[in-house]
Each structure stands twice: as C-alpha cells, then as structure tokens.
Structure 1
Amino acid sequence: MKKFLLGSLLLCGLSATGQEQLPADSLLPEALVTAYGIRPGQGVAAAVSVLDRTAFMSNGEASPLYALNELPGVRLEERAPGSYRLNIRGSSLRSPFGVRNVKVYWNNLPLTEANGTTPLNLLDVALYRQVEVVRGPAASYYGAGTGGVLNISSLERSGLQSGPEAELAAGSWGYRRLKAGYQQAGSQQQWRLGATQLHSQGYREHSDLLRQNVFWTGRHQLSPRQQLETNLLLARADYSIPGGLTAEQFAEDPRMSRPLSIERNASVHHRYALAGIGHEWTIRPGLGNRTYLFGSSGFYDHPFITDYKRDFSAGGGLRTLFEHTRQLGEHALQLQAGGEYQQGLDLARNFGNRAGQPDTLNFDDEIRSRTALAFAQADLYLRQQLSLSAGLSLNWFANDIFRLWDSAQQRSYRLQKSFDPVWAPRIGALWDISRAWQLYGQISRGFSPPSLDEIRTNEGSLNQDLEAERGTNYELGVRTSLLKGTISGSLTAYYLHLQQTITSFVTEGSTVAQFRNAGETRQRGLETQWQLQLLRTPRWQLESALSATWQHFRFARYRQQENDYSGNALPGIAPLSSSASLHLRYRQGLRLSLMHQATGSMPLNDANTAYTDPYQLLNARLDLRLARWQSSGLRLFFSGQNLLNERYSLGFDLNAFGNRFYQPAAARTFMVGISLELE
C-alpha cells in the first residue's frame, strides 16, 4: 500500500487549476465557485473543487477521465472506450454501468434525466471548459443524489477571449480526433460554436468507438438588467462492448473480448439532442431571478449478449431561482428560493438477440417519469469572517410504467410507483480564522431514488419494492493559503450514514444484474489537496501539489439469504488512492505536464472474496507553440498514457456473474497532434 502512494508523493503534484476555493490572498488562479448559489468571492461550507480547461488540456483531450481523477474522492471509470461510470465518494456502488447517484448539469441545464439516467458518455471533452464538482449530498439545493453534483460549463466564466480553435490528432489503437470551433467574446455577447469527432479502434477486441458532437453555447446581454443564455447539443455515440473477463482470462490475454460479444454485436448506438434557454433578470438591486427551460430527445439502440434494447426518449422541464441580498449594517443576508421540475417519456422495447439483430419481442413498455423539488436557502455573512448557511428542499419522484406486452405472461399490465416526498435539510458554517485559514463544517441529508434501469431490469421484471436510499452526511474541513499563495491546500473529513442502500446482485442461472435495498452502510473518508508554486520567474513557472483519498466504507447491516455480509467492505471502493501532477511552463511556449495516479486494492463483490491488485498510472504531455497571432497559438503536442505499461482495469463489473469482474484498460499509449487554441 505504501509503494503505490510513494510515486505520487515523489511527483507531489496536482494541477493548480484543480484547486478548491481558497482565501483571497492566494496567488494561484482563483476559481469562480458557484455551488449552492453563493455570493461571488465568498467561500462555501462544502467540499467543492473546480477544474478549468488547462487541467483537461494537460492530460490530453482524448478523455475527461484523467483530469477528473486528479480530484480527491472522485473516480471516473471507463469500462470500454466511451462507456463512463462516475464515482464520487462511493456513489457507483449500485451502478453496473453509466452514472447513478450524482446530479449532472451542462451549462445550468440538467443532463440527468427525469428517469435518473445521465448520458455523460455522449459529451466530448471539448465541452469541459470549466467543471465544478460538489462532493457529498447536495439535495437541499440540487435534488436527488447522495454522491454529489457535477456542473459542466462550455464557456469560461471569466477571462473570455475571441478566436478559433482546432485540433488534429492521431495515436495508438487507431485513435483519431478532429475538433473545430470558434469563440467570440464581447461586452454584449459571448458565444462558442464547435464540432468534434473521435474515433478509436480500441485496445481490446470489439472495443471500437465513434463519438461526434456539435454544440453551441452563448450569453447575450439584452439590457443592463437582463441576460439570455442559449445552448444546443447534438451528439452521437457508437461503441462496442467487449465485456467482462475472469481473472484467468485477464491474465491470459487482456485484449480478448467476452465470448459471444462479437457474435451478438454487443454495442451501444445513441443519438441525442439537448436544447435550453436561460434568462437572468435583475428585477431591482438586490433582487433577481434565473430561469432555465430545456428539452431533450434521444434514440438508444443496444444489442447485448442476453438481449436487444431499442428505446426512444423525450423529456423537458425548468429550473427557476429567486435571489435576494440585503445589507444588515456590517453583515449581509442572502436568501434563495426556487424549484426544478422534469418530466420524461420513454418508449422502450426489449427483444431477443439473434446474431446481433432484434429477434422475438420480450416486452414493450411506455414509461412516464416525473421528478420535482422545491428548495430554499439562507446565507448570513457576519463581518466577512463568519458565514452561516441553512437550506431545505422537498423532493418528489414517480414512475408510471405501462407494459403494453409481456411475452412471458402473455398480457399487458401497469406499474405506478410514487415515492414518499423527501425532506432534505442542510446546515453549514464557514469561519475565516485569519487571512490564511478557513474552517468549515456542515450536516446534510441526501436521498437517491432508484433509476429506471434499476426498477425495470433487462430480464423483464419490474421491481416495485425498491425504495430510495437516504443518508446523513457529517463533514468538517479546513483550507489554507500560506506565503501569499505559494502553499495552499485543504483537508476534509466526512462520515455518511446511508440507509436503504441499493446494491446489485445476480440470481443463480441468470447473467442479468438486479437490485435491492441492502440495509445500511457507514462511509468514512478523508480527502486532501495541496498546491505549491515551486518556481515563478518572468520565463519559467513550475507548479506542484498532491491529492490523496482514504475511504473506509462498510456494510453496517447486510444479509443476502443465508449470508451475512455485515462489516464487509463495499465493493468497488479503494481504501487508498492518490493523484499527483507536475507542470512546467516556459514563456516562449513550451509546456510539460507529468501526472501520476495510484489506486489501491479493492473488493469486487459483497462477499469480499475477490480483490484487485493495486496499480499506478504515469501520463505525460509535451507541447510546443509553433506560431502565435492575436489570442490563439498553433501548438504541436505529444502525449503518452500508462507509460509504466500497467495491466489494470479502469472499471469493474461488481458482483458479476461467473466472476467476470475485469474490464481491461489499454496498455502503453501514445498520441501526437497539432492544435490551434486560445491562450
């Protein structure tokens, strides 16, 4: 265990752009935190980290994976190229694939749909201009999810420049990437238009990927008191699913695919559109409103080894927020109140799979999903040294599943599942001990209802007994910025008591994951980040820091038929992990980034009878400016991932049938390209 942490300590680095909100005397680039709608320049009593576009560029724009995994408590997995699973403080326990238990927004529009699913795999990393990650339950302001919140912005919130952007890159395993776009910054409007295409043949058999994005995002000043936001995303993703391997298969040949994956064309084909409009209105000084209207539509075609799914979805909703600020002598009071509503329709059919083509209809469903929350929050700032926060939300969630045909039962029927309304409170306090030190604490309640894929599983059952997870989170943190920001960092401790925990299992004779409420879990953790300015001269800049995570997650009460797993470690959670990076920049346009990530051994099933080996990743990127005009630079870059050539998985199938836990990641990988980027 000590060995894998040592590599990160030697590099001692995390990108300075991946910092948490620090006291104002920090010389590091200050990230604009907007979580919980706090006032600009104020800290927030929560674990919030911000990444800007340089963090993603330093890791190469092939994937957001390595940049997000630099953050403590965050793990983005890629079980197959383009197939993401997001884990924030253990949130992916119940997720065989995709994103669960984390609320995701794109440009203030909910990417998480009313049915609980999030198509994060559709987004190219070019859309990640700034990312804000809230770790821990945030239901008092954002609704469902005990893991946290991911806010993705495609326009920087400050320091905008005008100019073109482009990229042409190629690399190992048939990797090819194209990007083209333009960004306009002005006093009255800012907008960005772009298109991307990424193609890869994949490291493993049957793991090719094609992803295309066309996107637009803009801010338009209508008047001194009104601003309009417009957003459009058109996305396509086609990727093959090589499937999980046993430990023996993984050791023999990690590039092989699971038997029948090729014969039955296990793959995903997804078409998606999301559009939204936002209006910000300063009604009068100290009183304003922000309202967002949005709609989405998608088609999902998914042949798998055991079946064949074809779904059409459409949905929409709104989020509105009123904010009132008032000076109370030397103090200030901020009041917020609003709501969010989403509704979705899914037309979902499940067939048998015959040589990769849909066969006999198994079941045909018409599904309506609804989710809503009303929330309010008060923040009291006392002489700029102490701030107190109190928030509360009321949440509703319901599914109406009309099974038009069930071939097994030879009939149609209906399941209406409405969950009891959930109150989610939060209280927090932030104390500026001095100009260099901040101390914060919070207590928050969170909840997470089962997603549609957990209620309606692939083998055809409708699980009406599943209840929402509910948890209470206790958190204490300290932040510091010393020597005028030369050294800065944070340390966070938390304890989450989760009840009605949803876990996955596979019944005897079946290969399909099903879900149940498994009792209680107790999740304790420590998260730390440290940034250092090692060198800053007119010509050279060297930055270094470290992030590390300790997670002690246990089943407090969990029985599975005759087996008692109480006290066992939660599968898919590494007790220790760390990430480090070192960034060297030269004024004439040379940039070198080194990144090291280490992950400890973790259990792969509830019984804790199978464990992974710990692994370390070393990535590097070198780029050189060839020419520059106005605000854009033409750059040549070289990058390498997994330079230590580790044999590892970037994602696992937990509690997998036949012990097929492993989803092998690529061996040593290289890329070269040329880019035109704003500097």
Structure 2
Amino acid sequence: MKKLLFFCLFILYLPAAAVAQTIVTGKVYHAQSQQAIAGAVVRANTGETTQTTSDGRYQLTVSAEALYFVISHVGFVPDTVAILKDQRIEYMTPLQPQQNMLREVQVQGYETNRPLLQTAGAISILDSEVIQRTDESSLVRAVNTVPGVRMDERAPASYRISIRGSTLRSPYGIRNVKLYFNGIPLTEANGTTALNLLDAASIGSIEILKGPTASVYGAGTGGTVLLEPKRATVGTELQAGATIGSYGYQKYRAAASIGSAKSNVLVQYTHQQYDGYREQSALDRKVLLISPEFYISDKQTINSHIIYSDLYYELPGGLTLEQYNENPRQARGGEFGSVKQNASMNQESINIGLKQEYKFTDNWSNTTAVYTSHRFRDHPFNTDYERNANQEYGVRSSLEYNTTIGSVGARYIFGGEFQHGFEAARTYDNNSSAVGALRTDDEVTAKTGFVFGQAEFELPADFILTTALSLNDTQYEIIRLAQATSGNYTYTKDFDAVLSPRIALLKRLTNQLSAHASISSGFSPPTEEEILTSNGSLNTALEPEKGTNYELGIRGYSLQNRLSFDVVSFYFRLNETIVSRQDASSVAVFRNVGSTSQKGIETALSYTFVDAPEDWLSLFKVWGSYTYNHFRFKDYTIYREAQQKEIDLSGNHLTGVAPHSATVGIDAATNFGLYLNAIANYVDDIPLNDENTAYADKYLVIGTKAGIRRSIAKQLQLDVFAGVDNLTDEKYSLGNDMNAFGGRFYQPAPDRNYYTGISLKYSLQ
C-alpha cells in the first residue's frame, strides 16, 4: 500500500505518455452566445475520451485508426467531427442548445449504472451545484433538501443522519445508515460512521438510497449514502478560496489538479475554524484529500483516494426547556458541565482506498476495492474520559455478466464485502478535563460481511425486473483487560446469518415517465457502542432489527422537460426495533421494543422557467420537496418506576420524526455571471421522547447566497459570494437529544449569521 501511495504522488510529476499517433485539439462553445462550454465530453470512435476545460478547450490523443470524434454535453445537440489526417488544426465546434432534450442522470445505486428513469428505487441525487448552494461549511443544508432525509448537527462536526426515522437508535453519531466513499465502505465494521473526517468541499456528488438496501449493500434498515470524491478535470488547474463569517467562522481551501486522457490527480487541502455560537462549541478541522484516477486502457481504470483528517470540536451538551428559553447560547452546566469537563473530541485519522474496474470482455467485468483506515481519539466527555485507537481494513468485489436470453437482455452481478476492525478502548474518570483513574480497558474486534447476487432482466413492453439476495453476518469479540468492579472476561456475540431479499419492477411508460415498485427486507445488527455502552456495561440481550419495506413510485419530466417530479410512497414494518434512553449519568442505554409502523410519502418537484444561456436571465428555476410521515410505535411498553407500573406507548408518534417537512428553493443566474440561491426549510413539531410528552417547536429557516462568477482573461475564473443563514432569526433546535435524562433535549442552532468568500481557479495551458 505504501508503494502505491508513493506511485500516486510520483505520477503528479510525470508527463502524459504519448501512446497514439494523432493529437486533436480544439474548443467547444455555445453556438448562440459564443461562450465556452466546460465539461463537454469528447469521445473518438476508437474509444479515447476527454472533457473540455473551463475555457472550453481540449486535447485528445487518439490512435491512427480514429476517423471521427463526437462532442456532447447535457442540454446540447451532440456534434460529430471528422478527423483530418496529417493536419495540425484546431477544431472549433459550436454546439446548439436543445431545450427539449431529456436530462437524464446516471446513477450508481443498486449497482445498476442506469439512467435514473430506469432505476427502480427511491434515490435522490445531490450534485456539486446543490452542495455549493451554501458556504460548504457542512453537508447539513444540502442533505436536508432531500425528502425523507434529515441531517442534524448537534454540535459543529457532530453529525447524525436520519433516513425515514432511522435516528431512533442514534442519540449521537451515524448508525443504521451505510455510507460509501468512492465505492468503498466508509461505515466501519462496528456499524458506526465517522463522516466528520470529511470536509464538504471534498465531496463531488451524493446519492441517497432510502429504505432497506441490504441486497447489494449489506446489513441495514435505514438506507445507503454513496459519496463520490471530487475529481480533477482535463488540464492543469490551481484553485484557492477563503470564506469568513459570523461567530469566528473561517474556511480556507487550496487545490491543484492535473488531468489528461490517461490520468488525473486532485490534491486538495481545507482548513475550517469556528469559535461557536454556544459556549464550548468551537471547531478546528484540517483535511487533506488526494484523489488520483488512471485510465490504464479501454479495459482497465484505477482510482483511489487518500484522506488525512485532523479534527477537534467541542460538545456544548443538551439544555432543558427552561435553559433553552433563558439563554440558548449557554452550554450544559452543573456538576458534569461541558465547560468544566472540557467535553470535546480530538480525532486524527487516515483513510486509504484503491478501486479497480476491469473489463475482461464485452460481457464480463469486475470491480474490486480495498481500503484501510486508522483513527485515534482523545475524548473528554461530561461523565468520563475516553481514549481509543481503531484500525480497520476491508474489501469489496463484484463480478458483472451481461447477456441476452432470447430477446430479453440480462445482467447478473455477484459479489461480496468483508470488513475487519480492531479497537483498543480505555475509559477513565474525568477530573475537570484531566485524565483520572482507569475505569475499563477493552479490546474489541468487529467482523462483518456479506455475499450478494443480483439479476436484471429487460423484459418486453419496457419492463425492467430486478431480483437480489444477500447473506449477512456480523460478529463482535470483546476482551476486557481491566475493570475495577467485575474483573477480566471475554465476550463474543455472533449474530445469526440473515438472508435479505429484494425484488423490484420498473415500467418505462414513455421516454419521459417511469413507474416502479419494490419489496425489500432489511436486517440491522446492533453496533458495538450499543452492546458495549460508555459506562462499561454489556448489553447482551440486544438483538438485530428486522423489517420489510413496500414501495411505489413514479418519476419523470413534462411540459417540454421544464417540470421534473419524483413521488414515492412506502410502508415499512420494523420488528425488534432498537430504541435508546439516557440514564442519570447521560449514558445511552439501548433495548429492543416490539415494532414500528412507518408509512410515508416523499415528493420532489422542480420547474425551470428560464434555461437560456444566451439571454441576460440565463436561468430561473424553482424547486421543492415535501415529506409526510405517519410513523407509530407498535407493541411497545415501558416500566415507569415512579408509578411502579408498565405504560403502553403503542400508537405513539415515533421519536425524533416530524410528521411534515418541506423545502422550497430558487436558483437564478444571468449570462454576466450573477447568481442567487435561496432555500426555505420547514420542519413540523418533533416528539422528543417516546412518551410524546415533550416536543420541539416547528420552525421555518431561510438561507440565501448570492455572488458573481466571471472568467478573467482566458485562464482565471473568479467567484465572489456572500450569504446569510437563518435570515428570519428563527429560534430552533437542530439535533435534539431524544429521551434525554432530566429533559436535556435541546441543542440550539445559531441565530441569524452571515458569511462572505472568494474562490479563484487558474487554468494552466
């Protein structure tokens, strides 16, 4: 692995090898406005491919047999250009806009690699433009535009993701949602995900798959998130940017990239600081991303990533309603107050991944990825002091076979994934932020894996049938080396292997409309932190969640493709549901309850009033999403000591889930480079405990960002912007602590705050 790292860095200094006899160069521009078109795909008939740079230019080395190349870009009519042999000329190619062209997006979800209109499942896509609608301080605002999905930030860099109510068992951190980065598992073998090791500026795009996806992505009942890193474009570019804002917010970014038809490498460094809106809520994060990709041949592509992260953030703690109303900027006080105990997280980590895609023949191909990660944590908490080191490695591989059975196209995928994690974890007394006496010393080994198979059939009458099955297994081994009260022991928990099937059917109604239906089964074992709680006790009775999801959806385009829509309804019945409650020392204790019934509707709409790059108002689009959740507990009772009796909570609203939520946004731009993004997010009352006796108030938060993007000369692009979050100065809690002891439910979000920034991109010729 070290040799590979050195090779990736060394390749930065190597010129692209000339492996063909003809070099074609040119420029692509808008036929009406004459403006350069960046990102246009240039593909020779012999397979060589490149993209245009920010100034519309390209250079492509092709074989002597190449006769022509095709230039294409979303929203434009493709053009075919004949190659003039033995003539060193620059091909100037105008592309005609095509307003009525269907703008289909390719998705990776479920390993289909199909257009979204041909993919059966509830999938939402966030591209780079969506992520850049805000200041990129985090992914929270972008993710919360997706129906059925909610991302919380209990403190800066303390993230939690809920897909269809999956935060029920997540008092902190990300659980029951599987995350991948560059097609490689980011979720660890122990079931948790350290999303905060990434910077939002490192993400190129996001796909969110909702509901059980166990057939392809292993155990899980919440959903799957596919993160793609930023990649270099063709040519050589240098980038730099800076953003400053309220409450000491500062962010700096520097990047360099080299891209050609055979390889590209992006190196990016970001540094983000924040003093915090509340007491004890500062942040300091440094992230280095190295993202190389090599096109070895028409058959083989290798890409990789190296992420180094140095993260420090503080934890202000939850407030009671009285404290929240009195002063939302205060931190948790008292004997175990956050300031007194210096509740905070120091985390240093490195994640290295390598993925190869190899095409053996026109029918057979393989994708294999390997990774390793190392993480070190120093974590003074309100009630203890934790220090741990984690080492992990894993592999994922899939084999694809394409064929036809009579007149039916068929595609088979077989594969598997294995992860191994080892953690050395120690807890101590926290004596006013100083390490005290040793409480526990544990060695935890986590092993998880699955094998899967999937078949797709392109049936007559434009039906696509998908069937899939996976076999999942998880095991934990906990070795207690020291504990003052109980002594040493070894505990092994090996969950039974579980089969998880999925069947989906899609009907292409027209070229612009499709409907889909699916039935899938989910299986989610407890995480290591749910079995081995932070007070050192073992939760040996905890069992995996299991559930079945039924789904119907329709998506498409109409009104000359100005209107796009995506509507999904679902019913999910989850058994052995895992819930959490805090004890007096703020330790989360987990247990299985009977079941939950989760019904909902998720809707996303977008209407483009203007899409005319040649006009002064070049873009005006209104978009929005709406989510309705009818989530209820079933067969759920708790014992209340004060009354010495059991209380039936069946029929109560699911904790942490708002019945209604909606987002509305406006995107506008001019051909001069001026742009405006505005987002309004509404969230209904949220139940904060299983008894439904405490609620977080509904809120409406508005944010705007405006700026100007201009090309200076031919090589320099400038982006100057400013924005405001919480424009209406709403008082609300983002990232509530569910079932918190003593009513400490509330994690106040910042009031009205501002930011401004500048970004420069210089293209070298």
Same fold (TM over 0.5): yes
Question: What is the correspondence of 1:634-645 to structure 2 with a 5 Å cutoff?
Answer: 634-645=718-729
Residue type of the partner of 1:43? Q
Q: Counterpart of 1:294?
A: 371
User: Given the alignment, which residue of 358, 368, 392 partners 1:315?
Assistant: 392
1:252 aligns with 2:326: yes
SS at match of 1:66: helix
**Does the 8 Å CA contact 1:163/1:631 hold for their aligned counterparts?**
no
Q: Counterpart of 2:157?
A: 82
Q: Counterpart of 2:404?
A: 327
* Distance in 2, Cα, partners of 1:36 & 1:248: 47
Do the aligned partners of residues 192 and 656 (structure 1) sit closer, same or farther apart at CA in structure 2, a change above 3 Å counting?
Answer: same
User: How far off its partner does 1:183 sit?
Assistant: 2.9
Residue type of the partner of 1:456? L
**Does the 8 Å CA contact 1:387/1:431 hold for their aligned counterparts?**
yes
User: How far off its partner does 1:82 sit?
Assistant: 1.1
Q: Counterpart of 1:532?
A: 607
* Distance in 2, Cα, partners of 1:417 & 1:322: 31
Unmatched runs of 5 consecutive residues or more in structure 2: 1-73, 75-97, 640-645
User: How far off its partner does 1:295 sit?
Assistant: 0.3
Residue type of the partner of 2:554? V
Residue type of the partner of 2:627? T
User: How far off its partner does 1:557 sit?
Assistant: 1.0
User: How far off its partner does 1:360 sit?
Assistant: 0.6
CA-to-aligned-CA distance 1:98-123 (integer Å, 9 cap, x gap):
10100001111111000111001221
**Does the 8 Å CA contact 1:170/1:176 hold for their aligned counterparts?**
yes
CA-to-aligned-CA distance 1:398-457 (integer Å, 9 cap, x gap):
000000011122x10011000010100000000011223211000000111111111111
User: How far off its partner does 1:256 sit?
Assistant: 0.3
* Distance in 2, Cα, partners of 1:405 & 1:94: 28
SS at match of 1:316: strand
**Does the 8 Å CA contact 2:555/2:567 hold for their aligned counterparts?**
yes
Q: Counterpart of 1:18?
A: none
User: How far off its partner does 1:608 sit?
Assistant: 0.4
* Distance in 1, Cα, partners of 2:106 & 2:759: 27
* Distance in 1, Cα, partners of 2:268 & 2:484: 46
Residue type of the partner of 1:415? Y
Q: Counterpart of 2:664?
A: 580
- RMSD, aligned CA: 1.9
User: How far off its partner does 1:179 sit?
Assistant: 0.4
Residue type of the partner of 2:170? S
**Does the 8 Å CA contact 1:103/1:142 hold for their aligned counterparts?**
yes
Larger radius of gyration: 2
SS at match of 1:664: coil
Q: Counterpart of 2:532?
A: 456
* Distance in 1, Cα, partners of 2:653 & 2:223: 21
User: Given the alignment, which residue of 611, 634, 639 partners 1:556?
Assistant: 634
User: How far off its partner does 1:184 sit?
Assistant: 3.0
User: Given the alignment, which residue of 551, 557, 563 partners 1:481?
Assistant: 557
User: How far off its partner does 1:182 sit?
Assistant: 2.1
User: How far off its partner does 1:383 sit?
Assistant: 4.7
Residue type of the partner of 2:404? Q
**Does the 8 Å CA contact 1:398/1:417 hold for their aligned counterparts?**
yes
User: How far off its partner does 1:201 sit?
Assistant: 0.1
* Structure possessing the higher relative contact order (Cα contacts under 8 Å, 6 or more residues apart): 1
User: Given the alignment, which residue of 436, 443, 466 partners 2:512?
Assistant: 436
SS at match of 1:420: coil
SS at match of 1:242: coil
Q: Counterpart of 2:41?
A: none
1:224 aligns with 2:302: no
Question: What is the correspondence of 1:409-428 to structure 2 with a 5 Å cutoff?
Answer: 409=486, 411-428=487-504
Do the aligned partners of residues 109 and 134 (structure 1) sit closer, same or farther apart at CA in structure 2, a change above 3 Å counting?
Answer: same
1:168 aligns with 2:242: yes
* Distance in 1, Cα, partners of 2:109 & 2:481: 43
Residue type of the partner of 2:107? V
Residue type of the partner of 2:401? H
* Distance in 1, Cα, partners of 2:514 & 2:709: 39
Unmatched runs of 5 consecutive residues or more in structure 1: 1-20
User: How far off its partner does 1:465 sit?
Assistant: 1.0
1:547 aligns with 2:625: yes
* Distance in 2, Cα, partners of 1:192 & 1:29: 28
Q: Counterpart of 2:741?
A: 657
* Distance in 1, Cα, partners of 2:518 & 2:495: 27
**Does the 8 Å CA contact 2:147/2:625 hold for their aligned counterparts?**
yes
User: How far off its partner does 1:302 sit?
Assistant: 0.8
TM-score w.r.t. structure 1 length?
0.94
User: How far off its partner does 1:162 sit?
Assistant: 4.9
1:512 aligns with 2:587: yes
Do the aligned partners of residues 434 and 31 (structure 1) sit closer, same or farther apart at CA in structure 2, a change above 3 Å counting?
Answer: closer
**Does the 8 Å CA contact 2:253/2:270 hold for their aligned counterparts?**
yes
Residue type of the partner of 2:661? S
Q: Counterpart of 1:267?
A: 344
* Distance in 2, Cα, partners of 1:28 & 1:353: 60
**Does the 8 Å CA contact 1:626/1:636 hold for their aligned counterparts?**
no
**Does the 8 Å CA contact 1:164/1:632 hold for their aligned counterparts?**
no
User: How far off its partner does 1:331 sit?
Assistant: 3.0
SS at match of 1:173: helix
* Distance in 2, Cα, partners of 1:471 & 1:401: 28
User: How far off its partner does 1:627 sit?
Assistant: 4.0
Q: Counterpart of 1:95?
A: 170
Residue type of the partner of 1:104? L
1:608 aligns with 2:692: yes
SS at match of 1:371: strand
* Distance in 2, Cα, partners of 1:658 & 1:631: 59
**Does the 8 Å CA contact 2:521/2:546 hold for their aligned counterparts?**
yes
**Does the 8 Å CA contact 1:161/1:631 hold for their aligned counterparts?**
no
Number of aligned positions between the proteins: 655
* Distance in 2, Cα, partners of 1:630 & 1:450: 55
* Distance in 2, Cα, partners of 1:362 & 1:662: 29
Select between 423-432 and 50-59 the one with higher mean Cα deviation: 50-59
* Distance in 2, Cα, partners of 1:172 & 1:593: 19
Select between 236-245 and 180-189 the one with higher mean Cα deviation: 180-189
SS at match of 1:36: helix
* Distance in 1, Cα, partners of 2:308 & 2:488: 35
Residue type of the partner of 2:281? S
Residue type of the partner of 1:438? S
Residue type of the partner of 1:644? T
**Does the 8 Å CA contact 1:362/1:407 hold for their aligned counterparts?**
yes
Question: What is the correspondence of 1:666-677 to structure 2 with a 5 Å cutoff?
Answer: 666-677=750-761
**Does the 8 Å CA contact 1:323/1:334 hold for their aligned counterparts?**
yes
* Distance in 2, Cα, partners of 1:437 & 1:97: 40
* Distance in 1, Cα, partners of 2:718 & 2:461: 44
**Does the 8 Å CA contact 1:398/1:418 hold for their aligned counterparts?**
yes
Q: Counterpart of 1:13?
A: none
Question: What is the correspondence of 1:105-504 to structure 2 with a 5 Å cutoff?
Answer: 105-155=180-230, 162-259=236-333, 260-328=337-405, 330-383=407-460, 385-409=462-486, 411-504=487-580
Do the aligned partners of residues 587 and 393 (structure 1) sit closer, same or farther apart at CA in structure 2, a change above 3 Å counting?
Answer: same
User: How far off its partner does 1:328 sit?
Assistant: 3.9
**Does the 8 Å CA contact 2:234/2:261 hold for their aligned counterparts?**
no
TM-score w.r.t. structure 2 length?
0.84
**Does the 8 Å CA contact 2:181/2:228 hold for their aligned counterparts?**
yes
* Distance in 2, Cα, partners of 1:26 & 1:555: 47
**Does the 8 Å CA contact 1:523/1:552 hold for their aligned counterparts?**
yes
* Distance in 2, Cα, partners of 1:196 & 1:666: 23
**Does the 8 Å CA contact 1:311/1:348 hold for their aligned counterparts?**
yes
CA-to-aligned-CA distance 1:334-354 (integer Å, 9 cap, x gap):
000000000000000010100
* Distance in 2, Cα, partners of 1:234 & 1:62: 18
**Does the 8 Å CA contact 2:107/2:113 hold for their aligned counterparts?**
no
Question: What is the correspondence of 1:14-29 to structure 2 with a 5 Å cutoff?
Answer: 27=101, 29=103
* Distance in 1, Cα, partners of 2:126 & 2:713: 26
Do the aligned partners of residues 202 and 424 (structure 1) sit closer, same or farther apart at CA in structure 2, a change above 3 Å counting?
Answer: same
Residue type of the partner of 1:637? F
SS at match of 2:416: strand
* Distance in 1, Cα, partners of 2:488 & 2:461: 62
Select between 428-437 and 37-46 the one with higher mean Cα deviation: 37-46
Do the aligned partners of residues 96 and 629 (structure 1) sit closer, same or farther apart at CA in structure 2, a change above 3 Å counting?
Answer: farther
Residue type of the partner of 1:302? H
* Distance in 2, Cα, partners of 1:174 & 1:677: 26
